[in-house]
Amino acid sequence: MTEEEESNIDEALEILTLAYIASLSKAALKTQMSSSLEAVNELNSVRVKEGLEPVKIPAKTLSKESIISVAKYEKMLKERGGSFVVDNDKKFFSPWLKKLKTDTKEELVTLFDQAAKESWTPEKLKTELKGMEELAKNVKAYNAAYCETRVLQDDATRRTWEYGGLEEVQWHTRGDNRVRPTHEARDRQVYPLKDCPSLGEPGCRCIISPYITKYAKY
């Protein structure tokens, strides 16, 4: 393969990677916004049950916080070649985007070889590359964003609750045989909002809920 062909493949690969990252970031923003809105509704539902006034959090505030958070996520994806998950309350980096590059490069080499043998026009090559770009933005991107950004969802929820004056949360497991022992020990436990363990561990299905029963005394 010539130096020019290598350069063309690297450029095409970069375009595909950026398209994939853009798709992840778009999906991450959706999950951020939905988490924030759901957090407001959940907090107010509990407050009303306890005889407290609902809190009002402007949608503009939720949107701004989500955009800032997702911008940081996108920057991390570009700089480190992948996303992160949380395991045992520690952040571990997972360079899955690098594997995507490796797999995709093989397809690009085949594509460029075919283009050379069949003397494709620049327009035809561009069309074929556009098809690969759409492939890079398929449903896997949304699923990856949903799983990988649960840390961001959790963070959005906690920041929303903190903005609404919440101080404590309660941990809940699914209550089946798939719950890991460390999480089973947390079931129904009440934590200060800032000290509650992360929900971002791979495969975790636990949730946290607002805990404000003590406020009903005042």
**Which has the higher per-residue pLDDT, 133 or 88?**
133
Please give the tally of structural domains in the chain. 1
Task: Name the 3-class secondary structure at 121.
Answer: coil
pLDDT of residue 67 exceeding 50? yes
Does the reported pTM lie above 0.85?
A: no
Structural domain containing residue 24? 3-217
CA torsion 25→39→151→212, rounded to 10°?
A: 170
In DSSP notation, 59-89 reads HHHHHHHHHHHHHHHHHHHHHHSSEEEEETT
Share the mean pLDDT of the chain: 78
Q: What is the pLDDT of residues 136-186, one digit of tens each?
A: 555 455 555 555 667 777 888 888 899 889 999 999 998 888 898 999 999
The predicted pLDDT at position 93 comes to 54
Residue type, 95: P
pLDDT of residue 95 exceeding 70? no
**Residue 83: left if φ>0, alpha if ψ -120 to 50, beta else—which one?**
beta
Asked if residue 190 lies in contact with residue 170, where contact means CB atoms within 8 angstroms, the answer is yes
pLDDT of residue 55 exceeding 60? yes
